[in-house]
A and B are shown apart, each in its own frame.
Chain A
Amino acid sequence: DAGVIQSPRHEVTEMGQEVTLRCKPISGHDYLFWYRQTMMRGLELLIYFNNNVPIDDSGMPEDRFSAKMPNASFSTLKIQPSEPRDSAVYFCASSFSQSYTGELFFGEGSRLTVL
């Protein structure tokens, strides 16, 4: 079975450029999460969706960050304009409410470097 698929795996960009990260959750999963991981702050929840609707975006650092989920099989996390402090690994994860436990399935991550 295909897991959570993220793209790109690596992105290097210059400060001020727009960055778009993509995620395809596991088919049938109704929750989708975006996390950011850095050495300094560890794993941070940015936003999560239920049935394509954003439920909690309180972890989004600032207005430069936005996330969308236009359908059940696709989500994007956009940073515009990007800054060096946005350099991190961004993970997408999905889960299935019918499993009841809340177990998350993670993608391999997108490593972002902003120069």
Chain B
Amino acid sequence: AQSVTQLGSHVSVSEGALVLLRCNYSSSVPPYLFWYVQYPNQGLQLLLKYTSAATLVKGINGFEAEFKKSETSFHLTKPSAHMSDAAEYFCAVSVGYSGGSNYKLTFGKGTLLTVNP
């Protein structure tokens, strides 16, 4: 079974500072990895995904994440935080549909990002 651990339930940065949100995964087979973002009072939307094509994945709004198999990590970064980045971020893992009908996406508990002016 796969699992995800997000380190830090709350991260606070200043506007213009580096954003680093940490995610470690556990999976017995090569995983697919995702970062979702949830703005207040909205649903989750996909930020970026790793599907084994490239280890450095670029997403929307200037975010990117690097898949590091040796560290079982998929940390999310953005060089310069903007006020509009304030949201909750969820890391998720799946093994795709190779598992047959018993498929599901497993989410981390989320990290709330606060951006200070």
Residue of B nearest to A53 (CB): B101
- Given the interface pairs A31-B103, A43-B110, A55-B101, the reply to whether A102 lies near B94 with Cβ below 8 Å is yes
Q: Is the interface of A mostly helix, strand, loop or mixed?
A: strand
User: Is A15 on the interface with B (CB-CB < 8 A)?
Assistant: no
Are A101 and B43 in contact, with the CB atoms below 8 A?
A: no
Count of chain A residues with a beta carbon within 8 Å of a chain B beta carbon: 25
Whether A55 and B90, one on each chain, are in contact in the complex, defined by CB atoms closer than 8 angstroms, is: no
Contact flags B79-114 to A (C-beta < 8 A → 1, else 0): 000000000001010111110011111010110000
Shortest beta-carbon distance from A54 to chain B in Å: 11
Q: Is the CB of A109 within 8 A of B101?
A: no
**How many interface residues does chain B have, given as a range?**
20 to 34
Residues on A lying within 8 angstroms of B by beta carbon are 4, 31, 33, 42-43, 45, 48, 50, 55-56, 91, 93, 95, 97, 100-109, 111
**CB–CB B44/A91 < 8 A:** yes
Assess the A102–B43 pair: CB atoms within 8 A: no
Q: Are A102 and B103 in contact (CB under 8 A)?
A: yes
B94→A101 contact, CB < 8 A: yes
Question: Closest approach, in angstroms, between the C-beta of A35 and any C-beta of chain B?
Answer: 9
Q: B49 touching A101 by the CB < 8 A rule?
A: yes
Q: Is the CB of B32 within 8 A of A56?
A: no
